[in-house]
Amino acid sequence: DIQMTQSPSSLSASVGGRVTLTCRASQTISTYLNWYQQKPGKAPKLLIYGASTLQSGVPSRFSGSGSGTDFTLTISSLQPEDFAIYYCQQTYSIPWTFGQGTKVEIK
């Protein structure tokens, strides 16, 4: 199975700040990488697919980059509604696997 490792596991940031989350795959996955946002008690929400394609309706302050084994999710100007847990997922090979998540908290 491909292991997905996210870092940091949590971070504190201020509204308006820029944050970068990292996801690393245990083997190359090309750009078969998706990012999801999950708020407490809610289902995950797709933000980015294919490493860098913004899902329809997702604010442009979210962006993704990377290929191979290293990927990043950047929030350019953190908004109050962005405080959540973010998960990466690889769909390069079955079983599709998720990272353990990065919790973004208010500073």
Partner 1 sequence: QLQLQESGPGLVRPSETLSLTCSVSGGSISSSSYYWGWIRQPPGEGLEWIGSVYYTGRTSDNPSLKSRVTMSVDTSKNQFSLRLSSVTAADAAVYYCARLQWLLSPVYFDYWGQGTLVTVSS
Interface ranges with partner 1 (CB under 8 A): 1, 31-34, 36, 42-46, 49-50, 55, 87, 89, 91-92, 94-101
Pair 22, 7: CB distance under 8 Å = yes
Least distance between partner 1 and beta carbon 61 (Å):
20
Task: Specify the residue, 16 or 94, whose C-beta has the smaller distance to partner 1.
Answer: 94
Least distance between partner 1 and beta carbon 91 (Å):
5
Task: Specify the residue, 16 or 41, whose C-beta has the smaller distance to partner 1.
Answer: 41
Task: Specify the residue, 36 or 62, whose C-beta has the smaller distance to partner 1.
Answer: 36
Task: Specify the residue, 1 or 14, whose C-beta has the smaller distance to partner 1.
Answer: 1
Distances (CA, A) of 74 to 20, 33, 86, 94: 4, 14, 11, 27
Count of beta carbons in the 10 Å neighbourhood of residue 5:
14
Phi, psi of 77 (to 5 degrees): -145, 95
| Contacts (Cβ under 8 Å, ≥6 apart) of 70 | 22, 23, 24, 25
